[in-house]
Amino acid sequence: MNWINQPWPWYIAGPLLGLIVPTLLLIGNKAFGISSSLRHTCAACFPANIKFFQYDWKKEVWNLFFVGGVTLGAILTTLLMPNSGNMNINTELAAELNKYGITDYSGLIPSKLFSWQALFSLRGVIMIVGGGFLVGFGSRYAGGCTSGHAISGIANMQLPSLIATCCFMAGGFLMSNAILPFILKL
């Protein structure tokens, strides 16, 4: 079990992730993505007279099983293989985070930023609630999430996916280098 507990190198994890695209296309002519599952869930659970939710969501039920499997896998991993030590992060990043009082790296994400206690602070509301809203809104506005555009869309040579992925990257660089330092000071 030790091999599965360690981070996998990019040259193994990357190709495995990349092989999902042709596998889905060959097996069922399906595109890889996660954000559309919210639409399918809403269409299934809350049938209403809203045009956006009036489609045959049952044709996309595979996507709901996929998201359910991801969720179940995350729960099982958390329960059966808990994190046994601190995360290894770059020393320069650790020094920068230390300036903002973030020193605990015992989980996958810093609990000072992402926890129930952090949620009830201004910084937590901005990062967790505001960030979640922006990710959800942005993925719908862009016509898909980062995995759908960057993995499936670019693999299918779709120009809109290339543009969306470039915008995702630019937004990430801007956020982490220009906006996040101000939020962390709160």
Q: What are the extents of the domains in the chain?
A: 1-82, 113-186
CA distance 125 to 131: 9
CB 148 within 8 A of CB 33: yes
Written as tens digits, the pLDDT of the chain (186 aa) is 677 777 788 899 889 888 888 888 888 888 777 888 888 888 888 877 888 888 888 988 888 998 999 999 989 988 888 776 677 788 998 899 899 888 888 777 888 888 888 899 999 899 999 998 988 888 888 888 887 888 888 888 899 999 999 999 999 999 999 999 999 988
Three-state helix/strand/coil letters over 105-148: CCCCCCCCCCCHHHHCCHHHHHHHHHHHHHHHHHHHHCCCCHHH
